């Protein structure tokens, strides 16, 4: 793993949280994106080298909706940048971690992503992400 790519925070209302976090950071989010397959709307803030992703659910079956009803708002996952996500998935499976996406999927922010089950990581949801290289 190369570095922390971003930290994901689950929120109930993205619009209200965008305003709150803009006040906190002293600048607005730089993009918003919906990931239909995950049932989430996201927004991203950049603080120096680091990024914060806010996530709101778009339907009741969204993983974010389930998280909010169980735990309430707060830190949802930590995402790590990897160079070769397929190799990293294999490596981590070999180490006994439970990988939720054996095949990486398209996430927000032009990334291939895969998640590790929190049950195998002391309770913290871990996201692996690899930048999708623009080959056009
Ligand atoms: Zn994320």
Region 106-132: mean pLDDT is 94
pTM of the prediction?
A: 0.93
Closest listed residue to residue 80, CA positions, set 121, 30, 34, 29: 121
Convert the pLDDT of each residue in 40-89 to its tens digit. Answer: 999 999 999 999 999 999 999 999 999 999 999 999 999 999 999 999 99
Q: Which residues surround ligand 1, an ion (CB under 5 A)?
A: 8, 53, 79, 127
Other CB atoms within a 10 A radius of the CB of residue 95 amount to 8
C-alpha angle 2/116/16, rounded to 5°? 85
42 token code pair: 């996201």
C-alpha of residue 95 to centroid of ligand 1, in Å: 23
> Which residues, in sequence order, are CB contacts of 68 under 8 Å at separation 6+?
10, 12, 57
Q: pLDDT value at position 136? A: 56
Other CB atoms within a 10 A radius of the CB of residue 81 amount to 17
C-alpha of residue 74 to centroid of ligand 1, in Å: 13
Convert the pLDDT of each residue in 5-22 to its tens digit. Answer: 999 999 999 999 999 999
13 token code pair: 């209302």
C-alpha of residue 9 to centroid of ligand 1, in Å: 9
Query: What's CA 76's distance to the chain center, in Å?
Result: 8
């Amino acid at each position: 793993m190369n570095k922390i790519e971003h930290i994901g925070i689950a929120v109930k209302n993205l619009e209200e949280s965008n305003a709150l976090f803009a006040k906190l950071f002293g600048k607005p989010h730089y993009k918003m994106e919906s990931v239909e397959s995950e049932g989430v709307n996201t927004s991203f803030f950049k603080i120096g080298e680091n990024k914060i992703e806010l996530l709101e659910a778009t339907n009741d079956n969204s993983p974010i909706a389930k998280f909010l009803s169980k735990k309430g708002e707060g830190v949802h996952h930590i995402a790590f940048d990897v160079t070769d996500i397929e190799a990293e998935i294999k490596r981590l499976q070999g180490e006994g971690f439970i990988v939720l996406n054996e095949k990486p999927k398209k996430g927000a922010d032009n990334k291939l992503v895969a998640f590790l089950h929190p049950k195998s990581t002391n309770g913290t949801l871990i996201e692996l992400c690899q930048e999708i290289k623009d080959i056009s």
